[in-house]
Structure 1
Amino acid sequence: MNVNLLSGPIRPQLIRMTLTLMVGMLTMMSFNLLDTWFIAQLGTRALAAISFTFPITFSLISLTIGMGVGTSAILGRYLGQGREEEAKRKALSAILFAFGFMVVGGGAGLLWSEPLFVAMGADADALPLILSYMHIWFAGCGLLAVSMVGNAIFRAFGNTRIPSGIMVAASLVNAVLDPVLIFGVGPVPALGIQGAAIASLLSWACGCGLMLWMLWFRHRLLSWRQFDRYGLSDGREILRIAMPAALANMLTPLATVLLTAFVARYGQEAVAAYGVGSRLESVACLFILSLSMSLPPVISQNSGARQLARVAEAYRSALQMVLMIQLAIYLLLLLGSPWIATAFSDQAEVQRLLLQYLWILPLGYGLQGVIILTSSSLNALHQPRLAFGLSLLRFFVLFVPLSCLLGYGFGLFGMFIGGVVANLLGACLAYLWFNSTLRRLTLESV
């Protein structure tokens, strides 16, 4: 089960793991985009409502992403040192802690969802739609946590095939249920935006069940051995990396909240266009996301084995790949932008603003990828504070200030230009930051 990441050519290993993950991620992201398209058929009001939910859902998802980052980094180091049984015990702690944190977060969301969305700028028309969606989402988000941390456990062991398969299965369930529950079929009533939330909940339940079966019974990667003695300390060890990583990930939706509030000044059409653009970004950056999941196990296992030359090689290879792939994706988006705009809205203003988004912001996706991969690499090296500092710099020293500054001067066009400039500056600083850290760790290991 434990795939050897400590020897052999690094680039083929990264490509194999990343492409396998991309199958599952592409399926999941495509069906999320399809979910947005179904909701768009309900009208601009529904599309604007779902756009308001994205920063909040991503905030809680960021918590489990952080748990996954901490899990992968800790397990990878123990596996690199040949301590597999301890890694399995820590994997169980990660699952339980992630589920608990997500349940608490979902409960808080149920209590305070209305004042939260009002503070974000949701009006009286959008608020009932938002709450009908989010109350179901909050109630079931613990199931999503189990699946996401389970994915990280498999990746830490070098296996990306099983997580990919589970993502495909859960996404297919969501895709089949979405139109049935949103628009109604036969005896099933049309539930609108609430139906989309129920479809997500049922798909999470399927993914959670499959993940636990694979982890516990099929591959036996969870262990109760000495859990009563070390469970809490294992959890604290994971949280030492997980919490800074979660906070760093939560900066993304926080920045999105601020930028969405800025965009809302230009009307509901601008919010709708920005929401669609954000969902499209998640698909366009699929390679970045997949590579940011496959790179850390390679780095953490090799750093655990003190093979820092292979760490440097893995990092350089990842950056080269992400810059080339994202440039190609930008050109494809540029060519397909007129079709994309008409596919998601029949309103001329929404189409115009979405075209503007697609012509400018994707130009910086490769640079954004450099920052994301650097952050995940620093976490894999057990440098969570540096990773958090990089994320803080990216969003609140560069991205939000530059976007808003140019936005005030030149409208949404200026806001999008500011985002590209911020990604360029952030990528340069990230590259220098990582190499400085690796040189320091190399000197300390001598």
Structure 2
Amino acid sequence: MSYAVQASAKPDLLNSPIASTLRQMTVPMILGMVMLMTFGLVDTFFVSLLGTEELAAISFTFPVTFTLISLNIGLGIGTSATIARYLGAGQSHLAREFGTGALMLSFLLVGLLATAGFLTIDPVFRMLGATESQLVHIRDYMHIWYVAGVFLALPMVGNSVLRAAGDTKTPSIVMAAGGLINAILDPLLIFGLGPIPALGIQGAAIATMVAWAVGCGYILYLLVIKRGLVLPRLLTFSEFRMTSRAVLKIGLPAAGANMLTPIANGVLTAIVATYGAEAVATWGVGNRLESIACIVVLALSMSLPPFISQNFGAGRMDRVRDGYMLCMRFVMLWQLGIFLLLWLCSPLIAMVFAEEKQVAELIQLFLMIVPLGYGLQGIIILTNSSFNAMHKPMSALLLSLLRLFVFFVPISYLGSLLYHLPGMFAAGVLANLLTAACAFLWFRKLLDEECQLQQAQEVTG
């Protein structure tokens, strides 16, 4: 089978109109992620029926589970940027080798991190502020989830291989199918049915493990046998070392940048925990709703980087600039509309996700303040992913440090001291404003420098 023929069936990232190309790549990602995250909210909904303690317990797990997921995201970013640049330069044979190395690397590193997490559940969650009664539920959930996390590594990195080649439809189908399996199994395993015993919060983790295991098997079949996008063998040690270095050069700073988010969120969760279990439950629900509200931004953060990397590899800096600016304008307008929608629907949403009046009131307060900063957050997220796509991972890492630990955590903490939870929510919006301004100006400067370098090379060449 000709791999050149397969590649031609994908969107032409180097020559097709920018707006239509990005739309063609992003829409499937949006649909897949909407289904996946909707099913994630279903997961939260079923756990909430168990009680406030269980909902608070699963809210405590978000910073920790996102740490493991962040490693996969970082490795996926390194994989996508490396493979897309080789594809843009016409070196598809190297792209296959690097895809194989990335899959091997992700399985090894995630397995090690999951093992460390499994052995440190109690001290980590006590540090986050979990009570002994909540730790009982956290142990039930995390003992299974860490095993499940290993099954997540290969689908996430495998999807990055597909996106690097311009295929965003298949990753969307894989995500949606996994979410659907999880949503179907959730009520059966949490509450039981017939011969199936009620497993409570542990059932939610088992449902997740089964869904990810199915996705793992399918993505390997697709990449190795059906598409031939990776090699049908393990790499030799020298090949693995060579590919790992290239992927980790971008992937480690990207993973580090992503891991900063759960660390910062862990600090904020500890601050929120001082206001009681109701506040922690609100924070957990709010974070899940934020993922849905920012779905378009998250989809663009997966479709824009392959576009930028391929055009960067081909020397098409004009298309890089135009694609970036188009996305910046779009996300600001889109997220403003999302904020208005959430503000109007906040009473209804609060009633759906909370039975207790105090929790419902806090969820409504969250939705009337925090989403105002989602457009600014979109600029930060897309700029960060664009830095990685341009093979500037340290700039992306520094931007994440700036956002979280220079602006977001300190300003949010100050806001909580001055005006309690409302002050904390509003301070997050201010932090996003300051970071977005820095991010936009920083990336524009990088674009100017790359264009000047390219012009100089053309003159000397």
Q: Which residue of 1 aligns with 2:307?
A: 298
Question: Of residues 333, 337, 350 in structure 1, which corresponds to 2:359?
Answer: 350
Q: Which residue of 1 aligns with 2:173?
A: 165
Query: 1:177-212, CA deviations, whole angstroms, 9 ceiling, x for partnerless residues?
Result: 000000000000100000000000000011111111
Question: 2: distance between equivalents of 1:165 and 1:140?
Answer: 20
Question: 1: distance between equivalents of 2:341 and 2:214?
Answer: 34
Q: What's the TM-score, normalizing by structure 2? A: 0.95
Residue 285 (str. 1) matches residue 294 (str. 2): yes
Structure 1 letter corresponding to 2:331: V
Runs of 4+ in 1 over 6 A off after TM superposition: none
Counterpart secondary structure, 2:320: helix
Question: Of residues 14, 22, 37 in structure 2, which corresponds to 1:6?
Answer: 14
Question: Of residues 276, 280, 302 in structure 2, which corresponds to 1:271?
Answer: 280
Residue 361 (str. 1) matches residue 373 (str. 2): no
**CA deviation after TM superposition for structure 1 residue 339, in Å:** 0.7
Question: Of residues 386, 393, 403 in structure 1, which corresponds to 2:395?
Answer: 386
Counterpart secondary structure, 2:120: helix
Residue 40 (str. 1) matches residue 14 (str. 2): no
Query: 1:58-94, CA deviations, whole angstroms, 9 ceiling, x for partnerless residues?
Result: 0110000000000010001100100001101100100
Question: Of residues 220, 238, 242 in structure 2, which corresponds to 1:233?
Answer: 242
* RMSD of equivalent CA atoms: 1.0
* Contact 2:100–2:234 under 8 Å retained in 1: no
Question: Of residues 199, 224, 235 in structure 1, which corresponds to 2:207?
Answer: 199
Structure 2 letter corresponding to 1:153: V
Residue 56 (str. 1) matches residue 64 (str. 2): yes
Counterpart secondary structure, 1:257: helix
Residue 18 (str. 1) matches residue 26 (str. 2): yes
Q: Which residue of 2 aligns with 1:321?
A: 330
Structure 1 letter corresponding to 2:256: L
**CA deviation after TM superposition for structure 1 residue 134, in Å:** 0.4
Question: Of residues 424, 428, 435 in structure 1, which corresponds to 2:444?
Answer: 435
Question: 2: distance between equivalents of 1:432 and 1:413?
Answer: 30
Structure 1 letter corresponding to 2:273: A
Residue 395 (str. 1) matches residue 404 (str. 2): yes
Question: Of residues 154, 168, 176 in structure 1, which corresponds to 2:162?
Answer: 154
* Contact 1:136–1:198 under 8 Å retained in 2: yes
Structure 2 stretches lacking a partner, 5+ long: 1-5, 457-461
Select between 225-234 and 201-210 the one with higher mean Cα deviation. 225-234
* Contact 2:25–2:303 under 8 Å retained in 1: yes
Select between 221-230 and 132-141 the one with higher mean Cα deviation. 221-230
Question: 2: distance between equivalents of 1:264 and 1:179?
Answer: 28
Question: 1: distance between equivalents of 2:275 and 2:148?
Answer: 34
Question: 2: distance between equivalents of 1:216 and 1:173?
Answer: 24
Q: Which residue of 2 aligns with 1:68?
A: 76
**CA deviation after TM superposition for structure 1 residue 140, in Å:** 2.2
Q: Which residue of 1 aligns with 2:3?
A: none
Question: Of residues 106, 110, 116 in structure 1, which corresponds to 2:118?
Answer: 110
Question: Of residues 340, 344, 347 in structure 1, which corresponds to 2:349?
Answer: 340
Closer, same or farther: CA 225–139 of 1 in aligned 2, 3 Å = closer
Q: Which residue of 1 aligns with 2:183?
A: 175
Q: Which residue of 2 aligns with 1:214?
A: 222
Query: 1:259-298, CA deviations, whole angstroms, 9 ceiling, x for partnerless residues?
Result: 0100111111111111110111111111111000000000
Question: 1: distance between equivalents of 2:234 and 2:195?
Answer: 51
Structure 1 letter corresponding to 2:65: T
Structure 1 letter corresponding to 2:304: L
Closer, same or farther: CA 86–224 of 1 in aligned 2, 3 Å = farther
Counterpart secondary structure, 2:198: coil
Question: 2: distance between equivalents of 1:72 and 1:325?
Answer: 26
**CA deviation after TM superposition for structure 1 residue 227, in Å:** 3.5
Question: 1: distance between equivalents of 2:228 and 2:327?
Answer: 31
* Contact 1:85–1:223 under 8 Å retained in 2: no
Question: 2: distance between equivalents of 1:416 and 1:126?
Answer: 25
* Contact 1:89–1:224 under 8 Å retained in 2: no
Query: 1:145-175, CA deviations, whole angstroms, 9 ceiling, x for partnerless residues?
Result: 1010011000000000111111111111111
**CA deviation after TM superposition for structure 1 residue 226, in Å:** 9.8
Residue 256 (str. 1) matches residue 265 (str. 2): yes
Structure 1 letter corresponding to 2:323: A
Closer, same or farther: CA 226–405 of 1 in aligned 2, 3 Å = closer
Question: 1: distance between equivalents of 2:259 and 2:29?
Answer: 23
Q: What's the TM-score, normalizing by structure 1? A: 0.99
**CA deviation after TM superposition for structure 1 residue 224, in Å:** 5.4
**CA deviation after TM superposition for structure 1 residue 348, in Å:** 1.2
Closer, same or farther: CA 76–45 of 1 in aligned 2, 3 Å = same
**CA deviation after TM superposition for structure 1 residue 327, in Å:** 1.1
Q: Which residue of 1 aligns with 2:459?
A: none
**CA deviation after TM superposition for structure 1 residue 225, in Å:** 8.0
Structure 1 stretches lacking a partner, 5+ long: none
Question: 2: distance between equivalents of 1:110 and 1:262?
Answer: 25
Closer, same or farther: CA 110–207 of 1 in aligned 2, 3 Å = same
Question: 2: distance between equivalents of 1:425 and 1:132?
Answer: 40
Residue 124 (str. 1) matches residue 124 (str. 2): no
Closer, same or farther: CA 226–359 of 1 in aligned 2, 3 Å = closer
Question: 1: distance between equivalents of 2:337 and 2:225?
Answer: 42
**CA deviation after TM superposition for structure 1 residue 444, in Å:** 2.0
Q: Which residue of 2 aligns with 1:88?
A: 96
Select between 137-146 and 70-79 the one with higher mean Cα deviation. 137-146
Counterpart secondary structure, 1:98: helix
* Contact 1:364–1:420 under 8 Å retained in 2: yes
Question: Of residues 141, 145, 151 in structure 2, which corresponds to 1:143?
Answer: 151
* Contact 1:89–1:222 under 8 Å retained in 2: yes
* Contact 1:334–1:359 under 8 Å retained in 2: yes
Q: Which residue of 2 aligns with 1:406?
A: 415
Question: 1: distance between equivalents of 2:288 and 2:324?
Answer: 27
**CA deviation after TM superposition for structure 1 residue 45, in Å:** 0.4
Structure 2 letter corresponding to 1:158: G
